[in-house]
Amino acid sequence: AVGKTIAKSNQEQTQHETETQTVELESHETTLKRKRSSEKTAEELLKDEVTEIMDEFTTLGDYYKLVDKIGEGTFSSVYKAIDVRHDYYDNSSWDLSSICKDYERINLEESDSVITLENANENDQATNRKNYSDEPPTQFVALKRIYVTSSPQRITSEIEILHQLNGSECVVPLITAFRQMDQVMVVLPYFPHDDFRTFHRQMTMNDIRCYFRCLLTALKHVHQNRILHRDIKPGNFLYNYRHRTGMLVDFGLAQVCRD
């Protein structure tokens, strides 16, 4: 009787484990299906959004091909796009790759001149840095679509400020801007960058020095033009961790000091 009881107990335990594994497998499959569904929905939403933009800007397709949505704020959305006519123009005035190389060289030279215990880990950091964004290709641009809910004065001010700051170091340059009816689109260079949350915990003192050099250089030029950005935060300072280069963006709240 005892043997039968033990056998029955083992059988029930095995059956319970099998049922548990089945439930876990079904739960995992359900999660995967939901994930695929949500991803598909996101792709469909992006496709619908791109279609809407192309309908509103009827000639946009002659110049740019939207490939992804890379940012969204209260007053605007930003899209990564291919510059269809890239080969027709001289892009040197807004080619950020040369700027990246210059700052990378300067930062590396300074890092080599500073003797600290951290320098022993620089090779490991350099290897790790290869996993982050590469330098910006000029065939891509960033299209900033400013919503109609933003006041005309705010839109005009942002474009004028960007135009005024053209040529400033570590400040994203303005390529052009255009509108169709009440729709406004600002064209900027595409700058590959990394999410601040993915690298800030592993930054060395040299990394921090490079980060703030770029940020303070940008603010120096902004303030020399008597402009206040008024919205400094990691999300508005795009930083390429691999090349140790940053760009200040989003002048939607910026103001010119008149006094």
Which residues are known to be catalytic? 231
CA distance 108 to 183: 43
Structure-block tokens of residue 26: 């079904």
| Bridge partners (DSSP) listed for residue 142 | 80, 188
Residues 227 and 165 sit within 8 Å (Cβ to Cβ): yes
Q: Which helix (H) or strand (E) holds 68?
A: strand 64-72
Sign of torsion, CA 217 222 226 231? negative
Query: Two tokens at 246?
Result: 């940053």
Within 13 Å of residue 139, how many CA atoms lie on the same side as its CB? Answer: 5
Q: Under a CB-based contact definition with an 8 Å cutoff, are residues 172 and 247 in contact?
A: yes
Q: Yes or no: say if 100 and 170 are a contact pair by the CB < 8 Å rule.
A: no
Consult the annotation and say whether 35 binds a ligand: no
CA–CA separation, 131 and 128 (whole Å): 6
Q: Detail the residues annotated as belonging to a binding site.
A: 101
